[in-house]
C-alpha cells in the first residue's frame, strides 16, 4: 500500500474503468440490430449478437495490443467475425456496423458505478489524468458525452505515443506531460496486464480494479486490489 501523503497525481484508464464500455456498446449494438432489421436475417437475439461481438472485440483488442493486427484489421474483424459466428450472411453490413458503431457508441454516457463519485472526490486533492489505448478520435467524445472532461489535466493516447500500455514508454510519456513523478503517482485500471503491470514496471503505485474478482494469487503485495471503485475513497482518507 502506498503512502497517500506522497501522492500528487492520479492516472486513470478510461474504458471499463471510468467509461462503461459494456453497457454503452450494448445499447449501440441493440440500436444497430434494430435499425438494420437483423431479426429478418437471423433467429439469434440482439443479446446473443452483443455477446458474440464482445467476444470478438476482446480477441481483436488483445491481438492489437500485442501488435498482431493493426487498427484497420481490428475494425474489419470484430463485426465480420460476429456475423460469421452467427451465420448471418450480410457481408455488406460489416462496414456499416463498424462505421456506425464507432460513431454512435462514444456518444453514450454510462459510467462505471462509483467512477464519477471518485473523480469528484479525488479532484479535491489530486491532479487527474487519462492513459488510454483507445482510439484517439473516440476517447475525447466519450469524455465529453459523459461530462467528465473537466476532471483531467492531461490525456495520453497510445496513438500519439506510438506504443500501447503495458509498454513503459507510454507511462513515462504520461508522467512527463503531467510533470509528475512515478513514485508520487497512482494508476487505476481494470486490465491487469496493460494497466497494472505496465504502470508497476514504470514505477507507479497501482490500484487494480478487479471488478470480476479474477484470481489475485500472483499479484505483487504492494498493488492495491479493489472490486468496487467506491473503495478508492477509503484509501485516501
Residues that bind Mg ion (CB under 5 A): 13, 15-17, 190-191
Provide, rounded to whole angstroms, the least separation between the CB of residue 77 and Mg ion. Answer: 20
Nearer to Mg ion, 15 or 20 (CB): 15
Locate 152 and state its grid cell: 483531467
Nearer to Mg ion, 109 or 211 (CB): 211
Nearer to Mg ion, 38 or 187 (CB): 187
* CA distance linking residue 18 with residue 25, whole number of Å: 14
103: CB partners within 8 A, 6+ apart:
none
Instruction: Judge contact between 133 and 165, C-beta under 8 A.
Output: yes
Instruction: Judge contact between 33 and 106, C-beta under 8 A.
Output: no
Provide, rounded to whole angstroms, the least separation between the CB of residue 17 and Mg ion. Answer: 5
Provide, rounded to whole angstroms, the least separation between the CB of residue 65 and Mg ion. Answer: 11
| Widest CA span in the chain | 60
Nearer to Mg ion, 173 or 187 (CB): 187
Tell me which residue of 18, 97, 90 sits closest to 56, measured CA to CA: 97
Provide, rounded to whole angstroms, the least separation between the CB of residue 145 and Mg ion. Answer: 17
Amino acid at each position: 500500500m502506498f503512502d497517500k501523503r506522497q501522492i500528487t497525481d492520479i492516472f486513470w484508464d478510461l474504458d471499463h474503468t471510468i467509461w462503461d464500455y459494456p453497457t454503452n456498446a450494448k445499447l449501440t449494438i441493440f440500436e444497430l440490430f434494430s435499425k438494420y432489421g437483423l431479426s429478418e436475417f437471423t433467429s439469434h437475439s440482439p443479446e446473443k449478437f452483443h455477446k458474440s461481438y464482445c467476444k470478438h472485440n476482446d480477441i481483436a483488442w488483445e491481438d492489437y495490443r500485442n501488435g498482431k493486427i493493426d487498427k484497420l484489421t481490428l475494425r474489419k474483424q470484430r463485426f465480420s467475425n460476429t456475423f460469421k459466428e452467427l451465420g448471418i450472411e450480410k457481408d455488406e453490413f460489416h462496414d456499416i456496423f463498424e462505421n456506425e458503431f464507432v460513431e454512435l457508441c462514444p456518444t453514450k454516457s454510462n459510467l462505471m458505478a462509483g467512477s464519477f463519485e471518485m473523480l469528484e472526490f479525488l479532484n479535491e486533492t489530486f491532479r487527474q489524468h487519462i492513459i488510454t489505448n483507445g482510439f484517439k478520435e473516440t476517447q475525447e467524445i466519450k469524455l465529453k458525452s459523459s461530462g467528465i472532461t473537466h476532471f483531467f489535466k492531461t490525456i495520453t493516447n497510445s496513438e500519439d505515443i506510438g506504443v500501447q500500455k503495458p509498454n513503459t514508454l507510454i507511462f513515462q510519456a504520461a508522467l512527463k506531460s503531467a510533470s509528475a513523478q512515478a513514485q508520487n503517482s497512482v494508476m487505476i485500471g481494470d486490465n491487469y496486464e496493460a494497466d497494472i503491470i505496465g504502470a508497476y514496471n514504470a514505477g507507479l503505485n497501482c490500484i487494480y480494479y478487479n471488478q470480476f474478482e479474477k484470481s489475485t494469487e500472483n499479484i505483487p503485495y504492494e498493488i492495491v486490489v479493489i472490486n468496487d471503485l467506491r473503495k478508492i475513497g477509503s484509501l485516501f482518507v
